[in-house]
Structure 1
């Protein structure tokens, strides 16, 4: 005797759900399980893994140029080409000190220009739209100067690290930060790997 199929259970209010009336082709349990595992395995489980560091290309032809030049005459490419055994020697330290001093000078000049702009724009403007535009420009400029003020503090700390002979080495691991990273961010105090670990931890657990 053929088995009787149970009628769909009525939805709330006594009405049969339209969804329950639709017939969906059944999928064997093993196929469904395999499909679920496949879709799960394709998920980007490596999304939180930081990307590998990019190697800095060195030009062998420039490897010895630093011996005949002063720190002020060296280019970024010549500093990158220096042998690893000369990492953070006196000339490299002097080179990065000059970069930091120049960066500091530029920030101080920008701060002076901001003061002049604010002093010049103190005249009352009758048009409300013009006043709003000027106030927005002032707010943006002040936010930029605030970020530069924080950077200025890091620059001064980096110069102190150079004077103490600690510049160029990771605060967490003690390993070399790398010339390429320091050229991109002269105030860096962490190696790329340590920085990525810290950012990953902040994403997972918050500040």
Structure 2
């Protein structure tokens, strides 16, 4: 089992390549202007990547759509397109969450739990910039969801 010290040293991977994790400065206030700008940069870059992927999918489906004579080939293509569209639908929902996170940054609410108001934490936000719940509230939510299932 990992100790909190070990997990504190575990590198956090940003959802966007090329953006280094935020380095806290000694005595820095939580959700300082620099931190907010860092997360805005991550969210905007992530949104841009997702939108580019949407454009690629549209082009792929336009260019590769064919009316195959063989039913098996047609079914394969339809399944491939179906999987792509399901992925894009998940990304559409993610784009909505990114927009909400950017609004929260603008409103000064970013980084604080929507349920209890506690700090979500820089490391959690680095791992999931669209997080709206602190780890305790998210854990409780997941437990409740499992009980309802």
TM-score (norm 1): 0.62
2:144 corresponds to which residue?
201
The CA deviation at 1:55 is 4.7
After superposition, residues 18-37 of structure 1 pair within 5 angstroms as none
Regions of 4+ moved over 6 Å: none
Higher RCO structure, 1 or 2 (CA under 8 Å, sep 6+): 2
After superposition, residues 74-89 of structure 1 pair within 5 angstroms as 75-76=20-21, 79-83=22-26, 85-89=28-32
- Structure 2 residue 124 is the aligned partner of structure 1 residue 181: yes
Contact 1:100 1:186 in 2 (8 A): yes
2:107 corresponds to which residue?
164
Q: Deviations 1:42-71 (Å, cap 9, x if unpaired)?
A: xxxxxxxxxx9785239xxxxxxxxxxxxx
Q: Distance in 1 between matches of 2:106 and 2:86?
A: 31
Rg larger for? 1
The CA deviation at 1:109 is 0.5
* Alignment RMSD: 2.2
After superposition, residues 1-207 of structure 1 pair within 5 angstroms as 55-57=7-9, 75-76=20-21, 79-83=22-26, 85-206=28-149
Q: Distance in 2 between matches of 1:55 and 1:178?
A: 14
Contact 1:114 1:141 in 2 (8 A): yes
Task: Structure 1: state its 5+ residue gaps.
Answer: 1-51, 59-72
Structure 1 residues 84, 172: CA separation in 2 closer, same or farther (over 3 Å shift)? Answer: farther
Structure 1 residues 74, 204: CA separation in 2 closer, same or farther (over 3 Å shift)? Answer: closer
Q: Distance in 1 between matches of 2:27 and 2:68?
A: 60
Contact 2:19 2:42 in 1 (8 A): no
Structure 1 residues 128, 186: CA separation in 2 closer, same or farther (over 3 Å shift)? Answer: same
